Amino acid sequence: MTLKGVISLPQICDRACQTCLDKLCTHKIPLFSALPFEALTEIATQIEHTEYPAGSVIIPLGTVSSSVTIISGGQAKACRYSADGREQILYIFSEGDFFGEQHLLSASETPYQVEALTDTRICQLSRQALNQLIIRHPELALQLIQDLTLRLGRLEQAIQTMGGRSIDARISTTLLDFAERYGRVRSDGIHVTLPLSREGLASYIGIARETISRKLGQLENDGIIESRGHRGLRIIRIDTLRTLAE
């Protein structure tokens, strides 16, 4: 955790100690990165924090809310369920990601359920508070627009991948995406801790669990990846994976 040029934090304690800084989730949130220091401490007082254990539901489907939620620790999935009960995972949220931007202009129903994948801490900021912040700090609006734009771009990419007929390309794209977000480069390849089980991967990619198993098995046979337990993965030949992803 990098802290540079940080001044004092009178509200919390009388000096900028590590403990207090860690409590300020605003420092970890890219959305607020463009704001001046004083604004961050100001925001911090308006934020409501909550913790959820792994597996619990953070936002039940159909909740009417007027808050924007930011993940300040852990991972969560956003998903919808179709009439026959099939789950479709839309996003994997990690530290720093936010959702609920649709409530910014008016309270409304959340379009997806959010569930904790690991123990998760969230910060919630009310519509009113965020709107006031935007009016006082227009650069926050620009940052928000940029973040939304990035997300749009990712969804556009996802739609192209899902629209294409090749399941292999979808899987390769997903693995590359996870490698980039959660991977650690080592001498023998990229080590990734997958955020989802095979079942979860299946819901995310939109195919059957058995198909994921078979396809990953195939990739392992071809020496492209190595499975290390249920959530572990080592990517051996990332260039080959990139080729498969097209």
Using CB under 7 A, list all residues that contact DNA: 165-168, 197-199, 207-214, 216-217, 227, 229-232
* Count of other CB atoms within 10 angstroms of residue 37: 14
Instruction: Give which of a copy of itself, DNA, none residue 162 binds (C-beta under 5 to 8 Å, depending on kind).
Output: a copy of itself
If residue 65 lies in a helix (H) or strand (E), which one and from where to where? strand 64-65
Q: Which is nearer to DNA, 71 or 201 (CB)?
A: 201
Residue list 206-245, contact with a copy of itself (CB under 8 A) = 206
CB of 89 to a copy of itself, least distance (A): 8
Residue 144: name its binding partner from DNA, a copy of itself, none (Cβ under 5 to 8 Å by kind): a copy of itself
Residue 211 binds: one of a copy of itself, DNA, none (C-beta under 5 to 8 A by kind):
DNA
Q: Which residue has the tokens 């997903």?
A: 174
Our CB check for DNA shows the closer of 183 and 195 to be: 195
Least distance to a copy of itself, CB of residue 66, Å: 14
Q: CB under 8 A: which stretch of 12-20, 138-146, 174-182, 226-234 binds a copy of itself?
A: 138-146
* Contact residue for a copy of itself among 80, 121, 198, 234 (CB under 8 A): 80
Give the E-state strand segments of 127-231 in sequence order: 183-186, 189-193, 225-228
Say which entry of DNA, a copy of itself, none residue 142 contacts (CB below 5 to 8 A, set by partner kind): a copy of itself
Output 145 or 162, the one with its CB closest to DNA: 162
Number of residues that bind a copy of itself (CB under 8 A): 41
Residue 68 contacts residue 124 (beta carbons within 8 Å): yes
Q: Are 198 and 241 in contact (CB under 8 A)?
A: no
Structure tokens at 171: 């899987």
Name the helix (H) or strand (E) containing 239: helix 238-245
Amino acid at 245: A
| DSSP letter (8 states) at residue 34 | T
Question: Residue 31, interface with a copy of itself (CB under 8 A)?
Answer: no
Residues 6+ apart with CB under 8 A from 10: none
Give the span between the Cα atoms of 170 and 158, in whole angstroms: 8
Q: Cβ distance 56 to 116 under 8 Å?
A: yes
Instruction: Tell the burial category of 82 from Cβ atoms under 10 Å away from its Cβ (0-12, 13-18, 19+).
Output: exposed
**Residues in touch with a copy of itself (CB under 8 A):** 80, 82-84, 86, 88, 90, 101-102, 104-105, 111-112, 131, 134-135, 138, 141-142, 144-146, 148-149, 151-153, 155-160, 162-165, 203, 205-206, 246
